[in-house]
Structure 1
Amino acid sequence: MNLFEKMQARAAEGRPIRVGMIGAGKFGTMFLAQALRLKGIHIAGIVDLKPETARSNMAYVGWPDESFSARDLDMAVRSGTTCVSDDWETLIAHPGIEIIIECTGNPMAAVSHCLRAFDHGKHVINVTVEADAFAGPGLGARARSAGVIYSMAYGDQPALACDLVDWARACGFNVVAAGRGHKWLPHYRRSTPDTVWDFWGLTREQAERGRLNPKMFNAFLDGSKPAIESAAIANCCGLDAPAGGLAFPPGGIDDVPNLMRPASEGGVLERKGMVEVASCLTADGLPIPHDIRKGVWVCFEGDTEYLRNCFEEYKVVTDESGRYMCNYKRWHLIGLELGISVASVGLRGEPTGVATEFRADVVSVAKRTLCKGEVLDGEGGYTVSGGLRPADVSVREGYLPLGLAHDVRLVNDVGEGEPVRWRDVVIDTNSDAYRLRRNIEAGLVQSTAA
């Protein structure tokens, strides 16, 4: 509860937390909008494939031109300004940088960036949750081996949900389920970047004004991002994925205690200890009041008569039995909240969520009938969406993780709604991401056999 005070102290001492950021898209730009207000944080370097876009976004959110005019990182560190370039390797290697923020949104690149940062003794805050979904346990293990911190990004829903789970457990409650909200109807699974704004609730003009990426936002709409973020929550909090994928039960905040309890007690869960996503729409597409679409929740139980009496005495909303209740954060503010992660890692030496187990995975599911020779275009695109599955099932069945379904060519036909398997694609086996993922799978197989 004193991160701001600690940041102020670092600023007063003249040694702010020095950060390098890779990727200056929507998330990164939102953090940039707040970073100038946080005197205990110095963004010394920003790398983007298009440096001119990064500079444009910095100016767009109020950065004076002179604040990002440093010709190199040495000058940036000396003067407290920012160097903008396209050279991520130099950024990661620079001794003045303490923390690397990875926010490219490219999972293949993100894995390489994280691994190189660990090699150089840098902490990493990984905004690219797509990489965390298929490689988070491996990235966390590699960071620990290197003696550095790997963290999910506060502001994104997984870290916020993990925070709520930690709160519940630190209070002594048994966590029954955790997750996020979403706007969901089954036909959204087939949405493409051409249809996303019609379903999302924005006009094309609003989307262009906000410089919003239709493919990225479509990854939310088509169920890929909810699956990705649910996997991240499960692997961080030791929760399980539903065997058949997310059910997206419709309900508002006050419905969560009834929904997110075991099916044997009237809910939708296979058992206690699961991840799930609540939809803000009824099956007929009508909006549900007081929804949790943009937020996160944790459902926990009063497993003694005394706790249930306390729930009743303090007039909290529970399920109809009085046993289950939830806590929630109704909104998440994306990059506007990232300063919490930077401060937590830089000042406390604590991640804001990190995968410690491989319990859930996101597999590539065909949006339509796919033909041999087609090239998969990853989450949010025209070919596949993400489906949440238990990790042991995914590995046993040979499913292709969604995070690796980018620019890979099919060698077999795949029917609509069917998972894509490793055997169905030709893939670069020399990439950091492929090797790390295969190591994670081998570790799961060995642990299961033992």
Structure 2
Amino acid sequence: MSGINTQLRILEENNQQIKVSLVGAGLMGKGMVSQMMLMKGMIPAIVTSNKVEDAIESYTLAGISKEDIVIAKTLSDINVAMEKGKYVATDMTEYATKANLVDVVVDATGIPDVGARLAMDSIYNKKHIVMVNIEADVTVGPILNKLSKSAGVVYTGTAGDEPGAVQEIYDFADALGFDVVAIGKGKNNPIDYDATPDTVRQKALEKNLKPLRLASFVDGTNTMIEMAAMANATGFTPDVRGAHGPRATVKELPNIFRLKKDGGILNNYQVVDYVNGIAPGVFAIVTTNLPQVHQEMKYLSMGDGPNYVLYRPYHLTSLETPITVAKAVLYNEATIAPIDKPVAEVVTIAKKDLKKGERLDGIGEYTILGSIETYEKAKEENLLPIGLVNANTIVKRNIKKGEFITYDMVELDTSTFIYKLRQMQEAEF
């Protein structure tokens, strides 16, 4: 099997290209479009955004002339434009998965219900689906992955995001026969459980991010979601609810991620966690029971053992997503995908005191935040997955700030696609 770069070059030399339909043209979407334009054998054929101006800008930023961009409102217009070799900008999300020549759909919306529907439509239309939308993945990824396999297409998370980068290290270590005892990611700031779009607005604007997106990073919900994706793909679990989240340097990780009886912080091995102080990196802690391997690890300056850290000091977010696109098409492989059944859940916490009759909102907003828990424990305690919450979720009784929200505390919006898909997942697993 030759490398992805070789395979893409062969496609280019044969005047063939992987045609990508991207939904979402924010900071990450725009970066993805530009990166694809640098590559051989792949093009961002369709960009969909609620603001068609953002879709157009994603192309112009990548050096595409406006004469080569078609603004389309119908599926027929999209198909004709693609057949002529034009680039399509549209605000019609329902057509993103239906164009005849599209090979792969990439969901970069970050909205759980939108992502669930896009993934299902992609599977129905026999398109590979890349979920940059990790919020949807941790809520209904297991059932989507099962359905995609039945349809003969790939369901996958993305390279470049922390879960995908962790999966690459895990796969490497697991293939070599190491015992992987912990996996995780860095976080670049302490969690502020009170963060809202208002408190982070100025920083968000400076970073060209939506305030609610940055708030989801700062209040820790995004980190919990990323760890849940790692757990669901590997079978590893959080050692404690919310994870330990120690502050450490990379060199300190092997000693920190040891069992308590050996001077570490862990109750168990095979856990997911996060670390303040090593962002933007990701890591795996490995060990072995063979003395010769220990001897060579010491010789290679990997530490004194018995645990060692494998560390990647960067992740390039959506700029790496085209690698996942290529793997799906060329090798029919996922970068990261859930295993057979759910392992972890991101459960919902009240961000403030909530009153009976009040409406909730969503990830990174004003009323809720998330924490990781094992799937079994969350189910046992009837804890509410954060991906099912939206602005039509109504509080049925007063809830204190910091209280974990259970299904019976709220009236969910049962009309959403993600709710129905979650019901299917619960019945299946």
TM range (shorter): over 0.9
Q: Is the 8 A contact 1:121 1:146 kept in 2?
A: yes
State which drifts further: 72-81 or 141-150. 72-81
Q: Once the two structures are superposed, what CA deviation does each residue of 1:106-150 show, in whole Å capped at 9, x if it has no partner?
A: 011100110111111111001100011111111111111211110
What aligned pairs does 1:2-13 form with structure 2 within 5 A after superposition? 2-13=3-14
Determine the structure 2 residue equivalent to 1:34: 35
Determine the structure 1 residue equivalent to 2:98: 93
**Matching of residue 69 in structure 1 with residue 70 in structure 2:** yes
Determine the structure 1 residue equivalent to 2:250: 253
Q: Once the two structures are superposed, what CA deviation does each residue of 1:235-277 show, in whole Å capped at 9, x if it has no partner?
A: 0011112232211111011111112222222222221101000
How far, CA to CA, are the matches of 1:39 and 1:70 in structure 2?
A: 25
How far, CA to CA, are the matches of 1:263 and 1:346 in structure 2?
A: 45
State which drifts further: 169-178 or 77-86. 77-86
**C-alpha displacement of 1:209:** 5.0
**C-alpha displacement of 1:60:** 3.6
**C-alpha displacement of 1:214:** 1.3
Unaligned runs of 5+ in 2: none
Determine the structure 1 residue equivalent to 2:349: 365
Unaligned runs of 5+ in 1: 198-203, 281-291, 445-450
Determine the structure 2 residue equivalent to 1:50: 51
Q: Is the 8 A contact 2:22 2:47 kept in 1?
A: yes
Tell me the TM-score normalized by structure 1: 0.90
SS at match of 2:369: strand
One-letter code of the match for 1:100? V
SS at match of 1:14: coil
Q: Is the 8 A contact 1:375 1:410 kept in 2?
A: yes
Determine the structure 2 residue equivalent to 1:287: none
**C-alpha displacement of 1:194:** 1.9
Q: Is the 8 A contact 1:176 1:273 kept in 2?
A: yes
Q: Is the 8 A contact 1:179 1:275 kept in 2?
A: yes
Q: Is the 8 A contact 1:44 1:73 kept in 2?
A: no
Determine the structure 1 residue equivalent to 2:167: 162
Determine the structure 2 residue equivalent to 1:272: 269
SS at match of 1:161: helix
Q: Identity rate of aligned residues, in percent?
A: 29
One-letter code of the match for 2:369? S
One-letter code of the match for 2:422? R
**C-alpha displacement of 1:80:** 2.6
SS at match of 1:362: strand
How far, CA to CA, are the matches of 2:46 and 2:230 in structure 1?
A: 30
State which drifts further: 105-114 or 430-439. 430-439
Counterpart of 2:413 (choices 428, 435, 438) is 428
How far, CA to CA, are the matches of 1:242 and 1:68 in structure 2?
A: 50
Determine the structure 2 residue equivalent to 1:112: 117
Tell me the TM-score normalized by structure 2: 0.94
**Matching of residue 417 in structure 1 with residue 402 in structure 2:** yes
Determine the structure 2 residue equivalent to 1:389: 373
Determine the structure 2 residue equivalent to 1:216: 213
SS at match of 1:124: strand
One-letter code of the match for 2:327? S
Counterpart of 1:317 (choices 303, 313, 318) is 303
How far, CA to CA, are the matches of 1:32 and 1:253 in structure 2?
A: 33
Determine the structure 2 residue equivalent to 1:196: 200
Q: Is the 8 A contact 1:45 1:76 kept in 2?
A: no
